[in-house]
Amino acid sequence: MKEDIGGNDQSGSPRSNEYLLVRELTHRINNEFASVIGFVSVLTARSSSDEVKEVLAQVAGLLHKCSGVHRALEMPTYSTVVDASCYLRALCQSIRIAKLDYRDIELVLVEHPSECIRSGAGNWA
């Protein structure tokens, strides 16, 4: 199976089509986050109420944090060795920031060094 630099399988197999679909969905979700954040920013700028501006700024902040969780969940593009404990730490930190901090919930991760090989086709070993 042949892969280009971007991790795209050139065989046209169902597996490569699934990977391409996941990458496209990821791209579209990122665009939607950016679009909604931009919309909230425009509403904030147009508002004359300081209270509304403050609430909309909090909404935009939460959307940024949620997009951080989405980024942490993205598959690496290239075949690479991934430090699983580092990956999980970043993912847990993103979840904590987006979902738990404002609820005063503490998330504790006990780490053990571990490596996983991530292939460009979406496989973890």
Neighbours of 1 (CB within 10 A): 11
Is residue 4 scored above 80 in pLDDT?
no
Q: What are the tokens at 24? A: 């496209």
Residue 83's pLDDT band, with cuts at 50, 70 and 90, is confident
Per-residue pLDDT at 111: 79
Q: What are the tokens at 44? A: 């904030």
Is residue 22 scored above 90 in pLDDT?
no
Average pLDDT over residues 76-81: 71
Per-residue pLDDT at 10: 53
Per-residue pLDDT at 12: 57
Percent of the chain beyond pLDDT 70?
Answer: 75
* Token pair 């791209």 in the structure block, residue: 27
The pTM of the full predicted model, rounded to 2 decimals, is: 0.69
Is residue 21 scored above 70 in pLDDT?
yes
Q: What are the tokens at 59? A: 């909404």
CA nearest neighbour of 89 among 111, 73, 106: 111
| pLDDT mean across residues, the chain | 82
Is residue 63 scored above 60 in pLDDT?
yes
